[in-house]
Amino acid sequence: MNSQEDHASGSPRPAGQKETAQDLSSTHVTHVREDVAMAGRCANVHLPTGRTCTLPARHPGSCNFVGPEDAEDVAVH
C-alpha cells in the first residue's frame, strides 16, 4: 500500500501517519457476517438474498450460501 493512497475519509494520509481507531471503524465490511466470521467461517453474505457462506475461512472454490437460520446455528456453536 502506498502511503499516499486515499484512506477512509477520502483524503490522502501524510507519509508515515498510521491509521487511527476512527479510520479502522469506518472501513467496516458490510458483506461479511461478523458473528459467523468469529466462528472461523467464510461469512461472505450474498447481498441480494441475505444468505451467508458457512464454509471454513479462506476455503477453495465457490461459496456455499445458507439461510439466516443455518448461519445463526454456525455462529453460536
For residue 53, what pLDDT is reported? 98
Task: Provide the residue type at 8 as one letter.
Answer: A
For residue 52, what pLDDT is reported? 98
Cell numbers for 11: 483524503
Are residues 15 and 41 both part of a single domain?
Answer: no
Q: Per-10-residue mean pLDDT for the chain, 77 residues long? A: 46 56 55 96 96 97 96 90
Contact 49, 11 (CB under 8 A): no
Are residues 46 and 59 both part of a single domain?
Answer: yes
Are residues 66 and 39 both part of a single domain?
Answer: yes
Cell numbers for 72: 445463526
For 36, list phi and psi in degrees, rounded to 5.
-75, -40
Contacts of 68 (CB under 8 A, 6+ apart): 50, 51, 52
For residue 59, what pLDDT is reported? 97
Are residues 35 and 64 both part of a single domain?
Answer: yes
For residue 27, what pLDDT is reported? 55
Contact 54, 35 (CB under 8 A): no
For residue 76, what pLDDT is reported? 83
What is the total count of domains within the chain? Answer: 2
